[in-house]
């Protein structure tokens, strides 16, 4: 699902654009976004875990992409307060990879109480034609509750302003990852 999320974002993200990685994790989506926006674009990445910032700084530094990215060590629920005012309504891509940090502390997870407000802010920040991809993992403790909250949030978005797609593998069970794609009209 993460590769599919990147493919869906690549369809809309251009050099010079603004992008957000709402859950930096190991930095793979941050790296992807920084590469896509080119030298004149900008990415802001959010994560509460110091190890996530450390790992991401390493891969961005090795690739020479640090100047394109600002990492903020806070939860994604603080997205609105951490974005420059000029970004509101100008963001072309937002990525969320929910759950826990792979190779990290699996007791630190994303939760509906912080994820839903972050999704609300991210949706408002999208420009026309902008896209948000949310990889949802219902298979871990707390994941099913978060998946339900995210899907309910998405169903309540105004259909005149946003297009929604929920992608699930045809062979998936109830705990398989899924991808929510939100595109602003």
Q: Render pLDDT for 40-74 as a digit per residue (tens, 0 to 9).
A: 999 999 999 999 999 999 999 999 999 999 999 99
Answer with the residue of higher pLDDT: 87 or 171.
Answer: 87
Domains recognised in the chain with CATH numbers: 2-184 (3.40.50.150)
Confidence of residue 13 (pLDDT cuts 50, 70, 90): very high
pLDDT of residue 167: 94
pLDDT of residue 10: 98
Non-local CB neighbours of 51 within 8 Å, separated by 6+ positions: 101, 104
Non-local CB neighbours of 73 within 8 Å, separated by 6+ positions: 47, 48, 49, 50, 53
Averaged pLDDT for residues 90-102? 95
> Which position has the token pair 């690549």?
10
d(CA 105, CA 162): 35
Answer with the residue of higher pLDDT: 146 or 169.
Answer: 146
pLDDT-above-70 percentage for the chain: 100
Sign of the C-alpha dihedral computed for residues 24, 32, 173 and 156 taken in this order: positive
> Which position has the token pair 């976004």?
33
Nearest by Cα to 133 from 31, 2, 26, 36: 2
Orientation angle between helical segments 112-125 and 143-155, nearest 10 degrees: 30
d(CA 178, CA 38): 29
pLDDT at residue 171 is higher than 80: no
Confidence of residue 139 (pLDDT cuts 50, 70, 90): confident
pLDDT at residue 101 is higher than 80: yes
Whole-number average pLDDT of the chain: 95
pLDDT of residue 104: 79
Answer with the residue of higher pLDDT: 176 or 72.
Answer: 72
pLDDT of residue 183: 98
C-alpha dist (Å) from residue 47 to 36, 71, 99, 139, 185:
20, 8, 12, 21, 28
């Amino acid at each position: 699902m993460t590769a599919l999320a990147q493919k869906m974002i690549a369809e809309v993200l251009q050099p010079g654009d603004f992008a957000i990685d709402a859950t930096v994790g190991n930095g793979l989506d941050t790296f992807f976004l920084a590469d896509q926006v080119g030298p004149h674009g900008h990415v802001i990445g959010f994560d509460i875990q110091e190890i996530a910032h450390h790992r991401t700084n390493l891969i961005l530094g090795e690739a020479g992409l640090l100047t394109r990215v600002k990492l903020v060590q806070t939860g994604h629920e603080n997205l609105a307060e951490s974005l420059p005012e000029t970004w509101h309504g100008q963001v072309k891509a937002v990525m969320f990879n929910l759950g826990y940090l792979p190779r990290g502390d699996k007791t630190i997870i994303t939760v509906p109480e912080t994820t839903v407000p972050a999704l609300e802010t991210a949706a408002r920040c999208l420009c026309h034609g902008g896209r948000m991809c949310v990889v949802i993992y219902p298979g871990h403790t707390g994941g099913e509750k978060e998946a339900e909250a995210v899907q309910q949030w998405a169903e309540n978005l105004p259909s005149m302003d946003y297009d929604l797609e929920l992608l699930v593998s045809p062979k998936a069970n109830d705990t398989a990852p899924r991808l929510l794609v939100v595109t602003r009209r």
